Structures are given as structure tokens and as C-alpha cells.
Structure 1
């Protein structure tokens, strides 16, 4: 599993083993078995045991697991589970301590995908992004909203105004790039029935520099994957740009009245490379 190229990551509760295989067959790039928020405290140990048995028959590096936080009573047993060869990486909730992340990576010998979901995490974002074992950052929008006392999420029927999170999202993208990490993955879209809303949300994430999105239901996978793919208009635009580049041998050129220079040409190449890779 190439953690750097994942675009759609689907959560499934660890206490719902009947959903494991459905999630694996959903078409998502990766599945995150969730031992944390999705599992009530009374079911944590049973869910972990069930997951451990299932992992025994899984191929190497085929699934991700979100463990419970470092301060929880389940953390130590969760880390032991994560030594399984079937686990490709550990999703770390409420990451705030770079040292604790490095220690977890050393103990488990697994790459880490920490959730950035508090003011303290954003205050230490550069140290977290550069910590040993960290390969990619995840945006925990809902927990951040609680931590900051934000008026979010909106009541049913009201629009999802994402503008209050623009600064946080920009920080994730910038710090990921500065530390040589793949583009971060955006927070979940909570309305599982609103496929158009999810598509719009995902396209906006891409515009802001995110590399993909976290999902909470298999029905979200197709619209998210479609939204992440270049549009027909983008593909046509990229081909026009690269045709102009060939004509002028990389020099600055006007295409339909718009200046095209090296960064624009690089963007066009990236679009077509996405098509070739997909």
C-alpha cells in the first residue's frame, strides 16, 4: 500500500466486524478500522480482540487502524495489536505530542497518520509533521470545532460553511509540503446521503491543496472518487497548454488570451499524469 497516493480512506467501526469486508470491497483506496470514536468504552476490548482475529487472515499491509489516544486506558493494548503485519499504518487520534508520535513509531515499526484536531496540535504542527514515523496528516475538523468553541456543524438543512476552517486547512497543506509529506487528507463530510454536497466539498478540498478525503460510508466512495478525478474541462485545458508548450519549446506563451508559463505548464502535466496513473 502506497500511503502517499491514497485519496479515499473509509472508516469502519471495529465493533462491527460484519462491515469489514463490505468496506474492503467498497472501492476506497484504503480502509481504516476504527477502535477510537466509533466504539463505546464498554466494547473497546472486545472490538480489539475481534479485529485481531480478523487481521490474522489478511494480507500484509492491507488495512489501516485508528487506535485510541495515548492517554486512554486502551492505548497500550492497541499498540500491541498494531504490530500485526496486516496493518499498513496507524491512524493516531488527537495527536499533539511529537515525542509520543516518534515513540509510537519506534515501538510498532509502523508509519503514522496523525489527526490534527486541536489548537495545541496546530501550535506544534511543524514538529508533528517532522516527527519520526509521520508520513501524512489528517484533518480532524469536528474535534477542532469543539476545541475552539466554533458554531459547527450546522443544524440540518443549513449550508455547510467551510470558510472558518480555511486557515487551518492552509496550515495543513503548507506544513505537509514544507516537511516533504504527501498532501494531507481532508476531514469527513458528515451527510452520508448528500452526494452532490460531498462532491462539491471534495473538489474544494483539491483546490486548497488536499490530496484526498476521509469517508464514513461506502456510498460516499463513488462520488468522492469521481470528484477527485480531473474533469473533462480540466483535461481539455491541460492538453491545450501542453500543445502550446511543445510549439514554443517551453517559452512563455498566450493560450486563449491567458499567459502560460512554467508553473501553468507544470499544472497541466500533473493533470494528465493523474489520468495516466488512474
Structure 2
């Protein structure tokens, strides 16, 4: 599994093994089996045991696992579970301590995907992104809103305004680039029957520079994939730009009364590569 190339990651509760096969066949790039938020405290040990048995029958590096936090009573056993060959990477909730992340990577010998979901994590973002073993950053929007006492999420029927999160999301994108990490993965969109809302949310994340999105229901996979694909207008624009560039042998050129130079052409090539991968 190429962790850097993942765009759609689907959560499935660890205490619902009957859903694992459905998740794996959903079309998502990867499945995250969740031992943390999705599992009540009383079910943690049983869920871990069921997952451990299931992992023994899975191919190497076939799933990701979200463990419980470093300060929880379940952390050590979760960490031991993640040494399984079937675990491709460890998803770390409420990551705030770079040294603890490096130790977790050392013990499990797995890449880490830490959740950034608190003010303390934002303040330590450079250290977290540069910690040994960290592969990509994940945005935990709901926990971040709670930690910052933000007025979010809105009551049902009110607009889902993402504007307050733009500075935070941009920090994750910039920090990931500065530390040569793959683009971060955006937070879940909780209204799993709202395809149009999900697609608008995913497109906004792509504009900011996110490399993918976390999902909570199999039906979200197809709309998310569609939203991340280049639009016909983008493909047509990229084709016109590259054709004009070839006519002038790479010099700056105007296309539809817009200047087109090397950074613009680099984006055009990326769009056409993405379109060719569909």
C-alpha cells in the first residue's frame, strides 16, 4: 500500500467485523479500522481481540488501524496489535507529542498518520510533522472545534460554514509541504447522505491543497472520487494551455486573455495526469 497516494480512506468500527468486508469492497483507497471513537469503552478489549484474530487472515499491509490515544488504558495493547503484518500504517488520535510518535513508530515499525485536532497540536505542528515515522497529517475537525470552543457543528438545517477552519486547514497543507510529506487528508464530512455537500467540501479541500479525504460511510466513496477528478473544463483548459506552450516552444503565452507561464503549465500537466489516471 502506497500511503502517499491514498485519497479516500474509509473508517469502519473495530467492534463491527461484519462490516469489514463491505468496507474493503467499497472502492475506497484504504480502510481504517477504528479502535478509538467508534468503540465504546466497555467494548474496547473485545473489539481488539476480534480485530487481532481477523488480521491473522489478511494479506500484508492491507488495512490501517486507528488506535486509542497514548494516555489511554488501551494504548499499549493497541500498539502491540499494530505490529501485525496486515497493518499498513497506524492512525494516531489527538497527536501532540513528537517524541511519543517517534517511539510508537519504532515499536510498531509502521508509518504513522497523526490526527491534528487540538490547539496544542497546532502549536507543535512542525515537530509532529518532522517526527520519525510520520507519513501524513490528518485533520480532526470536530475535536478541533471542541478544543477551541468554536460554534460548530451547526444545528440541522443551518448552513455548514467551513470558513472558520480555513486557516487551520491551510496550516496543515503548508506544514506538510515544508516537511516533504504527502498532502494531508481532510476531515470527515458527517452528513453521509448529502452527496452534493460532500462534493463541495472535497473540492474546497482540493483547492486548499489537501490530498484526499476521510470518509465514514461506504456510500461516500463514489461522490468523493468524482469530486477529486478534474472537471471537463479543467481538462479542456489544460489541453489548450499545453498546445499553446508547444507552439511557442515553452515561452510565456496568452491563452484566453490569461498569461500562461511555467507554474501554470506545471498545473496543466498535473491535471492531465490526473485525468489519465481515471
Q: Is 1:94 matched up with 2:100? A: no
Superposition RMSD on alpha carbons, in Å? 0.5
Q: Aligned residues, how many?
A: 278
| Residues 122-133 of structure 1 aligned to structure 2 (within 5 Å) | 122-133=122-133
Q: Matched residues in 2 for 1:97 and 1:239: separation?
A: 46
1:186 match:
186
CA offset at residue 165 of structure 1?
Answer: 0.4
Report the 3-state secondary structure (helix = DSSP H, G, I; strand = E; otherwise coil) of the residue aligned with 2:152: coil
Structure 1 residues 206-260: Cα deviation after superposition (integer angstroms, max 9, x where no partner): 0000000000000000000000111111111110111111111111000010000
- List structure 1 segments (4+ residues) > 6 angstroms apart after TM superposition: none
Per the alignment, in what secondary structure is the counterpart of residue 4 of structure 1?
Answer: helix
Shift of 1:274: 1.1
Query: Could you say what secondary structure the match of 1:273 adopts?
Result: helix
Counterpart CA distance in 1 for 2:58 and 2:231 is: 35
1:52 match:
52
Matches of 1:3 and 1:272 in 2, distance apart?
22
Distance 2:200 2:275 in 1: 20
Q: Deviation of residue 193 (structure 1)?
A: 0.7
Query: What is the TM-score normalised by the length of structure 2?
Result: 0.99
SS of the residue aligned with 2:3?
coil
Matched, 1:223 2:223: yes
Q: For 2:48 and 2:195, locate their aligned partners in 1 and report how far apart those are by CA, in whole Å.
A: 32
Is 2:37 aligned against 1:37? yes
* Separation (CA, whole Å) in 1 of partners of 2:12 and 2:65: 10
Once the 2 structures are TM-superposed, how far is the Cα of residue 276 of structure 1 from its aligned partner?
Answer: 2.3
Deviation readout 1:114-153 (Å, 9 max, x if unpaired): 0000000000000100000000000000000000000000
Give unpaired runs (5+ residues) of structure 2: none
Aligned to 2:85: 85
Counterparts of residues 106-125 of structure 1 (less than 5 Å): 106-125=106-125
* Rounded Cα–Cα distance in structure 2 between residues aligned with 1:244 and 1:119: 47
Structure 1 alignment gaps of length 5 or more? none
